Structure 1
């Protein structure tokens, strides 16, 4: 620390003397400019340390640290603003040094810090305010009705925090309870959040100013720049997603089957949409939690063995596992200080499992985990990704004889596709049967279907997240265009306005013209022509939804009536559109028809950040995996070299140089999951080994409000007994009914015969 302080002092004196003597930065040499920028990077490191300390304090129980967090956020933005203004004239000239050119490219377009002071303060305050609301909120207890009509407080009820609600959603299986809890939480959230909710429209509109201040006219181009991507656009990204849709549909069919088995056919909304409250979180992304909770892996011994081994681990164990594994991938080791400085059993109500990066060359890191969190498979995946991200920063920051990467090349304001891909790659490889066996998370001998189980875990983690990422970005791009389109209009000749007015056509004009899209339901898709079995038609409908991907080109497929008093695109329209995008891309909805603004829980949306890097990184990891597996010259040593690059070059340039990857493609992903796709096509299910005793107890829940351990394990047998018993009852009832019917028929025939004879006798007389 003493040496660091001396370096900062020397750099400060050099930079100040230079400015005073020369009088203008324009006359500085490239070497001198790099030294001055290095001093700026040291200042950013100092702010990062203070910001991380403030967030650490908040998550470990000190509410007042949110104010300090905001102060540091504003301080960092002000520093960027001042320095980019100072360097503006020279930052736009070409440099001989590619390294210096890259430094100025990142430095000159930092994103939100380029905003004007007023907008910047509002932007930062809004995000922190929402975080505070969520952290303080507790779901209250509803009044209990008495027999005499009066209502009293239910004293047995305990108010539920955000963390508690999420835990119940992840464990509870009762569909009505889940639905009510989901709705109650968001009703409470919206009542606590009325003003802040409406302010989101302004927060979103700041994106236009942000793009302009970073020298881009279009939001899409600005986000591509922030993601370090030059040769792609959102239309191309939508085409990548189009290739993955068939696999996504098959995973939907898999999920629909287990949902219907648990809750019956009516659980799928309109036979098309999955109820969002079944996915185990207030902000669900993947499907692993729901699949496990609903018994998808009850008969998959590899899964049960893996889960049982994790049950005996704590979070420090998981971090050490991830540390050892990523070390084998040539990513280096975590420093010992990481374990000494981390907290793995925090009881604070504001706790959130997180890694902390202090942005220094000393690579100071630590982690926090919460006392009520469990060592689940989802946590196993997340921690492997987090450790890979930490090591990426450590390796990128190491000094070498050739050069060193300062703050901007390690942590600069770019959402690196490579950072995301490397993180995903680590968890992807860690989940392979070979590596699970090495970590003693699978037995020594090969288990049936262990490869399929591994692929299924990865697929349920990765594939369902992709349409969410795409929906979150395309929805905001469209919303800004709607806001711009209505902002200057004072009169409406018609009470109907187009809600989705700009979404790129992924397919041909004839196939998806605006008129054709309006004629059909936005979630309708053709059923599989080969599947004519009536018993599976309902599941196929649950799996089907439109393959049309709303993007930002030229289709308008939904119209919405607005009252004549509604002159602007407001928060209600925004929320309706959000769910339309999610319905179409994810096939997810809410069965009670209430459209809650759950996007206010998404940090990337609140901070106006794109999901593009996460989407593309999720695809890119499979390309990197193929390179590592298929070419001995591009082995694990190249992973270390890749990490070393940091953000010193554009991502596309690094990938082309090191791996000959010139485009991001979905084909390696589809090849990787081909065995799983064949398994899903076959209609097979995970089967238990008949030679073994039923050890479902390994898979039992330790936390459930309405079920006991082993309930799901017995559910299939119970269901079979119920069906047999029901068939017997129906058979008996059928026989009795036929007997009664025949008896009545004979009785009526005799009566008619008697009547005829009576009439005949009367006539004769």
Structure 2
């Protein structure tokens, strides 16, 4: 996970709200049209911005590594100062008529000019801060009892339970109680949150661009008008493969939980090894038959790492060497002096990773991912501060995952001396097992990642009313994921709030994009000098030409629009799922054999959200939940009853 930099859009909006309200009316001044003067202004403001980022990052780092009242107070104060700076820059841009400037300079002004949620009045600002803080507090403090064990927190207690338990009732109890303790407690607060967020959006304007809803602010950094359509189009192309995985999983679950599976061919959300059914790889250990080769060891080098006495530092050194062999820079001295998400401190040499490291394969992959972020920071460090971030919100996560695609291959692990490959191994079976695990982590994640923000887009826009928020959540989960709630839900529940990114206001579509982009990058780099190797077997380790191309793209940061950078590397301006589908081609062939005889319609589900909802809305005012047509019928029936009673006693 990226630290400060990748979440800058969120920090700008939330941090800004922590400050004292600053009057946003700009004093009458002559408008500056001279681009040379504007360039000098941009140089000065970027230097100040880097200084402000550095100061705030230091305080944020202190708080994240040592949470106490003192560091919290310091962070709040730093937030106020940072907010004042951000607002001032947005106001100062009004001095310049920058519409005719070069694209490089104009885009800097566009980024500086957005105020975000800080545009709210002082009263609304305090309300927005309070409701945001309250929702996050509800989520972070939620604890439940399961199987007579109490004070269970989400991480690590409940995540471990959902990943390892084979008990249907225990999984159900944890699933329901977590939602009761988290999302259900914040329903009304969330309505207030997005109402204020939408109000803030309408107060923003950059040139002729107007903002209507909170997600308009979130998506501003994509600089792509049809980004929602691109995401929808990508998911549509991926769904046929997803349905194969869904059917494969459903058939295994029907054998394990006979009589407890819905007849509509959906999968109950609590049976997939994850609290949100967003990744299903844990079922390979808990559900018989999911692992097609249970007697074949999973590609896991944890035991070998411990045998070779790996330390956290050795794991980081191994990761550093991977990048050096690609032609990237070695880590700075300050990096090694700060062992402890990846962070950019907006200097030329201060980059850090905050991680509690276990000596296992999972953390070895995670380290390569986080080092990918650090290398990205290092490549664009010469850019002005306003451009020191990923080309779009998905690029940073994609780079980290791109590296992991090579590192996790048997070929690479063998090269590092952590995996011995001999002729007795059935490499085809091992590859299928590895690909299935990858698909249950990456491919099944895609519909969920899309739904989290699709739901918010629909709610923020008013397409879905506040009275139908939870119903729409399950409508989308049923439609795209084929997932159903294991017990009936109502509008008293607020199941989206049981996912961290919803109450914390973190845009989620970036993860959807990152999963597509990583395979596009992987294919482009592999085709440079390893076109003869299957995509799933490609390891770019040591490929200097591939490293050169990757470094070139990363060095621009956000100074070029992401479609342009994507085209320079891959040949296309749009996100494309074809490389992902190509990567998993062996697994698709395996699934086709497993599902032989199944027609296309057999792979689909017949989900009706009404079957999973309580008609009474579980105590909500039923008139409040009626549609206009239903309400008119209600009045008509009431009038008929009144006439009948009147005639009876006439």
TM-score by length of 2: 0.74
Aligned pairs for 1:651-662 within 5 A: 651-662=562-573
Task: State whether residues 63 and 75 of structure 2, in contact with CA within 8 Å, keep that contact through their aligned partners in structure 1.
Answer: yes
- Bigger radius of gyration, 1 or 2? 1
> C-alpha displacement at 1:200, in angstroms?
0.9
Tell me whether 1:396 sits opposite 2:374 in the alignment. no
Task: State whether residues 275 and 589 of structure 1, in contact with CA within 8 Å, keep that contact through their aligned partners in structure 2.
Answer: yes
Task: State whether residues 285 and 465 of structure 1, in contact with CA within 8 Å, keep that contact through their aligned partners in structure 2.
Answer: yes
Report the more deviating stretch, 631-640 or 669-678.
631-640
> C-alpha displacement at 1:85, in angstroms?
1.0
Aligned pairs for 1:564-579 within 5 A: 569-570=465-466, 573-579=468-474
Question: 1:202 maps to what in 2?
Answer: 192
Task: State whether residues 55 and 69 of structure 1, in contact with CA within 8 Å, keep that contact through their aligned partners in structure 2.
Answer: no
Question: 1:286 maps to what in 2?
Answer: 279
Q: Deviations over 1:266-295 (max 9, x none)?
A: 343334222222333434532222333335
Task: State whether residues 398 and 518 of structure 2, in contact with CA within 8 Å, keep that contact through their aligned partners in structure 1.
Answer: yes
Q: Deviations over 1:525-559 (max 9, x none)?
A: xxxxxxxxxxxxxxxxxxxxxxxxxxxxxxxxxxx
Distance 2:595 2:334 in 1: 48
Q: Deviations over 1:314-336 (max 9, x none)?
A: 76555444433344344433335
Aligned pairs for 1:593-608 within 5 A: 593-594=488-489, 596-608=493-505
Task: State whether residues 51 and 73 of structure 1, in contact with CA within 8 Å, keep that contact through their aligned partners in structure 2.
Answer: no
> C-alpha displacement at 1:468, in angstroms?
1.2
> C-alpha displacement at 1:635, in angstroms?
2.2
Distance 1:284 1:80 in 2: 38
Question: 1:52 maps to what in 2?
Answer: 61
Question: 1:428 maps to what in 2?
Answer: 405
Question: 1:623 maps to what in 2?
Answer: 520
Q: Deviations over 1:425-447 (max 9, x none)?
A: 11222222211222344323263
Q: Deviations over 1:602-656 (max 9, x none)?
A: 4443344433332223212222222112234962211111121111111112222
Change in CA separation of 1:639 and 1:139 when aligned onto 2, cut-off 3 Å: same
Q: Which of 320, 333, 341 in structure 1 is aligned with 2:330?
A: 333
Tell me whether 1:109 sits opposite 2:114 in the alignment. yes
TM-score by length of 1: 0.63
Tell me whether 1:135 sits opposite 2:128 in the alignment. no
What secondary structure sits across from 1:647 in the alignment? Answer: coil
Task: State whether residues 139 and 500 of structure 2, in contact with CA within 8 Å, keep that contact through their aligned partners in structure 1.
Answer: no
Distance 2:259 2:313 in 1: 43
Task: State whether residues 46 and 386 of structure 2, in contact with CA within 8 Å, keep that contact through their aligned partners in structure 1.
Answer: no
Tell me whether 1:33 sits opposite 2:26 in the alignment. no
Distance 1:254 1:336 in 2: 50
Tell me whether 1:681 sits opposite 2:592 in the alignment. yes
What secondary structure sits across from 2:66 in the alignment? Answer: helix
What secondary structure sits across from 1:159 in the alignment? Answer: strand
What secondary structure sits across from 1:286 in the alignment? Answer: coil
Task: State whether residues 302 and 453 of structure 1, in contact with CA within 8 Å, keep that contact through their aligned partners in structure 2.
Answer: no
Change in CA separation of 1:134 and 1:610 when aligned onto 2, cut-off 3 Å: closer
What secondary structure sits across from 2:355 in the alignment? Answer: strand
What secondary structure sits across from 1:29 in the alignment? Answer: helix
Report the more deviating stretch, 268-277 or 107-116.
107-116
Change in CA separation of 1:598 and 1:668 when aligned onto 2, cut-off 3 Å: same
What secondary structure sits across from 2:54 in the alignment? Answer: helix
Q: Which of 319, 323, 328 in structure 1 is aligned with 2:320?
A: 323
Tell me whether 1:586 sits opposite 2:499 in the alignment. no
Change in CA separation of 1:87 and 1:47 when aligned onto 2, cut-off 3 Å: same
What secondary structure sits across from 1:266 in the alignment? Answer: coil
Tell me whether 1:87 sits opposite 2:78 in the alignment. no
Tell me whether 1:445 sits opposite 2:450 in the alignment. no
> C-alpha displacement at 1:304, in angstroms?
5.3
> C-alpha displacement at 1:676, in angstroms?
1.0
What secondary structure sits across from 2:356 in the alignment? Answer: strand
Distance 1:25 1:133 in 2: 48
Question: 1:549 maps to what in 2?
Answer: none
Q: Which of 444, 466, 473 in structure 2 is aligned with 1:464?
A: 444
Question: 1:739 maps to what in 2?
Answer: none
Q: Which of 112, 123, 131 in structure 2 is aligned with 1:126?
A: 131
Question: 2:383 maps to what in 1?
Answer: 405
Change in CA separation of 1:23 and 1:264 when aligned onto 2, cut-off 3 Å: closer
> C-alpha displacement at 1:84, in angstroms?
0.4
Q: Which of 75, 80, 83 in structure 2 is aligned with 1:77?
A: 83
* RMSD between superposed Cα atoms in Å: 3.3
Distance 2:276 2:282 in 1: 12
Distance 2:364 2:268 in 1: 26
The count of residues paired between Structure 1 and Structure 2 equals 537
Q: Which of 164, 170, 179 in structure 1 is aligned with 2:163?
A: 170
Distance 1:75 1:274 in 2: 49
Question: 1:276 maps to what in 2?
Answer: 269
Question: 1:160 maps to what in 2?
Answer: 152
Distance 1:620 1:179 in 2: 35
Distance 1:133 1:67 in 2: 21
Distance 1:52 1:276 in 2: 36
Change in CA separation of 1:242 and 1:23 when aligned onto 2, cut-off 3 Å: closer
**Structure 1: 5+ residue stretches without partners:** 1-21, 143-153, 344-353, 398-403, 484-498, 500-568, 686-765
Distance 1:200 1:431 in 2: 40
Question: 1:179 maps to what in 2?
Answer: 172
Distance 1:283 1:320 in 2: 35
What secondary structure sits across from 1:288 in the alignment? Answer: coil
Distance 2:286 2:173 in 1: 18
Question: 2:351 maps to what in 1?
Answer: 364
What secondary structure sits across from 1:591 in the alignment? Answer: coil
Question: 2:222 maps to what in 1?
Answer: 227
Distance 2:65 2:445 in 1: 28
Distance 1:229 1:330 in 2: 32
Change in CA separation of 1:623 and 1:141 when aligned onto 2, cut-off 3 Å: closer
Distance 1:652 1:576 in 2: 36
